[in-house]
Chains A and B, each alone.
Chain A
């Protein structure tokens, strides 16, 4: 009996200790968190929440986390004003996370993965005074919710530029007699067969073909965003199938590793690949999310409305290519890149120029094609170009 009393006491003390600790550290109540857009807010009063699919060990999320950090230092926010939730899957956990951030008093909540959108929409409907912002999604305009926004970058512009780099390299290979012009086949490791990926590889290909006319491209999908061994395998297969240059829309270093092993030049995505492919990586197309996060939070602070759909490119400084690898690029690349980047930024060059591609031998009819080019990411921020143009073959 004595022992029972003792053990009971121990349990009580333990739980009391835990509860007491909790009191001092509980989440701040949502007081004052509901300032409406339009009224203006002091930078020290704002609270930001972010929901990530992965963590800093994964390229896509790392880029977003860095973007949030850049925004914080740009606008002078303290660490206490930002709550980040990592490794949130695309399921009810995303709703839980969004609602939890809302209850902790966040004024703006960002989520970064495509599959988060439905759950973020649910949370947005429940908390109309909080701004919800979702990257890569497409439902903001059609949802009818004033507090729900989509954002994306015109990454296709950077892919086009990286395509130009690749095309220059192909030309060099042709001129040096390493390959003949008809063998200028690019291999592309794609994640999933849908618009975001298709728009990406098409812009890359158009960039390459703008300097190397005989270029063709073969795309193979991995059906995963990040699967290192699969990406490595697919890249190796493409090289064996006669591809002389590799690019990717997948998140790991699998493809560049395969390229370095085989001595094939490659163009990466999101991060500089020279650490794994020092002699083969030419450059990578990448996003600078910090520019958007700064714009979005700044407009909230100013009391301005946040655009329902936002997509920025070279003119906003949101996309770029990583430093050119001078050990691998063809001579003259730097000058050409500058020229193309300037033309993209001032609007004199359009990536999806309708005169540069055909589908099934003719120009497709599409309401988004006007003034001689396809208006990508203008109506809805998420990419929508889903044609497989002539010169590209795909395999699922």
Chain B
């Protein structure tokens, strides 16, 4: 058996391979479900759909989780397109969230709400920008390893948030901050067409902006060139250091802003779980989508859908939450694995048989 790299593949054929992978993954999931739980897999799938979109409220929660994942993936896109391994979105989200909580706590009771929200957006983007700038500067200036650097900054952010929680905890000693400004809702993003309508609009705006920025602007082109080859970029007269720093500031700013949306738009508190692993999951989203924002919407939606469905089947069938992780894992395995068959084809050769 030999692997042969495909020269090119038609879009419909690639789509067919991916669809086949999706169907296969659902089949394997069904087998696993039956084997472990003796439940009817169709019922379990129905439970997932019911949990994700079964009621208006559940639909909104799924939408919320989708857009939070999406905006982080969108924020990571410029960095990864530049082949800058930004593993630090988690920390950038946490810092943005912590600053948002600070604004809500210290200004949320005295200033008008619109101003508070504006301040939250600006300050969270700035702190995210700083959290992106630090590793970018060291990468550009000293060529440090950005993967380790951004990863370590996550821990710094986590410790800062832990400190903030102890500092703001309410009531003292409880190790939680509690819902901030529950009474006057100061700094809470107001609902629009539904609880999270405003967040949807904001995330959509950022997504469209990045789509245009990456594909239609000179900056976007420079990022793509630096990502392909720094030497080519230098030869073409692109200031690589400047591009790295500028791009990471943008990437960090969007992730910091994501933190603001999570804190001010949804949880109204800050904890070390505020980012909730989205900074890492979003990396999968960005790569699986090949940095295409439109596909990111679909992938984010799919992951959020499975996650919300999982919560439902956990309570409906008395399964542990881990059961849903297994399902999501199997599906991701097939979807990522099928990219191999999009890029390569297998040819079976029988020994001693004449070559054709």
Residues of A within 8 A of B (CB): 3-4, 7, 10-11, 14, 17-19, 21-22, 24-27, 55, 83-87, 89-92, 96-97, 99-100, 103, 114-115, 117-119, 121-122, 138, 192-195, 197, 223
Contacts and interface: CB of A to CB of B under 8 A. Distances in A.
10 contacts: A21-B42, A21-B49, A27-B50, A27-B54, A85-B311, A86-B315, A90-B176, A91-B267, A91-B271, A122-B182
B179 A119 contact: yes
Contact of A24 (B12, B23, B46, B321): B46
B280 interface: no
Of A17, A24, A92, A195, most buried by chain B (CB within 10 Å of CB) is: A92
A99 B178 CA distance: 18
Given A26-B50, A119-B179, A103 B57 contact: yes
B174 interface: yes
Interface of B: 12-13, 15-16, 19, 23, 26, 42-43, 45-47, 49-50, 54-55, 57-58, 61, 171-176, 178-179, 182, 266-269, 271, 273-274, 311, 314-315, 318, 320-321
A192 B50 contact: no
A194 B273 contact: no
Nearest to B18: A7
The 7 closest A-B pairs by CB, nearest first: A194-B173, A21-B46, A118-B179, A115-B176, A92-B267, A25-B46, A22-B49
Contacts of A193: 173
Contacts of B47: 25
B43 A25 contact: yes
Contact of B61 (A24, A96, A115, A195): A96
A91 B273 contact: yes
A194 B266 CA distance: 28
A115 B266 CA distance: 16
B174 A114 contact: yes
B46 A100 contact: no
A86 B314 contact: yes
State the main secondary structure of chain B at its contact with A.
helix
Nearest to A21: B46
Contact of B271 (A18, A26, A90): A90
Contacts of A3: 12-13, 16
A17 B342 CA distance: 27
Contacts of A83: 315
Q: Which of A22, A103, A193 has the most CB of B within 10 A?
A: A22
A21 B44 CA distance: 9
A interface, by DSSP: helix, strand, loop or mixed?
A: helix
Nearest to A14: B23
A153 to B, nearest CB: 18
A103 B49 contact: no
Contacts of B268: 92
Contacts of A7: 12, 15-16, 19
Contacts of B55: 27, 100, 103
A115 B174 contact: yes
Contacts of A4: 12, 15
Contacts of B315: 83-86
B49 to A, nearest CB: 5
Contacts of A103: 55, 57
Nearest to A88: B311
Given A92-B266, A121-B182, A223-B175, A10 B46 contact: no
A193 B16 CA distance: 59
B218 to A, nearest CB: 36
A89 B176 CA distance: 12
Nearest to A118: B179
Contacts of A197: 173
A55 B323 CA distance: 13
A18 B321 contact: no
Contacts of B16: 3, 7
Nearest to A23: B46
Given A86-B321, A193-B173, 7 more contacts: A22-B46, A27-B50, A89-B273, A96-B57, A117-B178, A138-B171, A194-B171
Contacts of B46: 18, 21-22, 24-25
Contacts of A223: 175
Contacts of A26: 50, 54
A118 B269 contact: yes
Contacts of B15: 4, 7
Residue of B16, B174, B314 with highest tally of chain A CB at under 10 A:
B174
B179 A22 contact: no
A99 B60 CA distance: 12
B185 to A, nearest CB: 11
